[in-house]
Structure 1
Amino acid sequence: MVPSLFLAHGSPMLAIETNEYTHFLANLGQRIKPKAIVIFTAHWETEVLTISSRDDVYETIYDFYGFPDELYTVKYPAKGSTQIASILEERFENQGINVKKDSVRGLDHGSWTLLSRMYPEADIPVIQISVNPYLSANEQFKMGQSLQGLGKEDILVIGSGVTVHNLRIIKWGQTTPEPWAVEFDDWLIDKIQNRDLDSIFQYEKLAPHARMAVPRPEHFVPLLIAMGSGDSQTKAKVIHRSYEAGTLSYLCFEL
Structure 2
Amino acid sequence: MISPIFVGHGSPMMAIQDTACTQFLLDYGKKVAPKAIVIFTAHWETDVLTISSTNEVYDTIYDFRGFPDELFQIKYPAKGDVALAQSIAERFQAKGIPVQLDSTRGLDHGSWVPLSRMFPTPSCPVIQISVNPYLPPAQQYRIGQALRGLDQEDILIVGSGATVHNLRALNWNATEPDAWALEFDDWLAANMQAQNLEALFDYAASAPNAKMAVPRPEHFIPLFIAMGSGDPQRPVEIIHRSYEVGSLSYLSVGF
Normalised TM-score (structure 1) = 0.99
**Matched residue of 1:33: which SS?**
coil
Quote the residue 2:79 is aligned against. Answer: 79
**How many aligned positions are there?**
255
What does residue range 148-187 of structure 1 map to in structure 2 within 5 Å?
148-187=148-187
**Matched residue of 2:239: which SS?**
strand
| Structure 1 unaligned blocks of 5 or more | none
Alpha-carbon displacement from aligned partner over 1:88-133 (angstroms, at most 9, x marks no partner): 0000000000000000000000000000011111121100000000
**Matched residue of 2:124: which SS?**
coil
* In 1: Cα distance, 2:95 partner to 2:118 partner: 31
What does residue range 1-255 of structure 1 map to in structure 2 within 5 Å?
1-255=1-255
**Matched residue of 1:129: which SS?**
strand
Distance apart, 1:172 and its partner CA:
1.3
Whether contact under 8 Å (1:9, 1:160) holds in the other structure is yes
* In 2: Cα distance, 1:37 partner to 1:173 partner: 36
**Matched residue of 1:224: which SS?**
helix
| Structure 2 unaligned blocks of 5 or more | none
Whether contact under 8 Å (1:175, 1:243) holds in the other structure is no
* In 2: Cα distance, 1:36 partner to 1:116 partner: 15
Question: For residue 136 of structure 2, what is the amino acid of its counterpart?
Answer: S
Alpha-carbon displacement from aligned partner over 1:3-60 (angstroms, at most 9, x marks no partner): 0000000010111111211111000001111000000000000000000000000000
* In 2: Cα distance, 1:148 partner to 1:65 partner: 36
**Matched residue of 2:70: which SS?**
helix
* In 2: Cα distance, 1:43 partner to 1:254 partner: 21
**Matched residue of 1:140: which SS?**
helix
| CA RMSD, 1 decimal | 0.6
**Matched residue of 2:44: which SS?**
strand
* In 2: Cα distance, 1:43 partner to 1:135 partner: 16
Q: Percent identity?
A: 59
Normalised TM-score (structure 2) = 0.99
Question: For residue 60 of structure 2, what is the amino acid of its counterpart?
Answer: T
- Structure 1: which 4+ aligned runs deviate by more than 3 Å? none
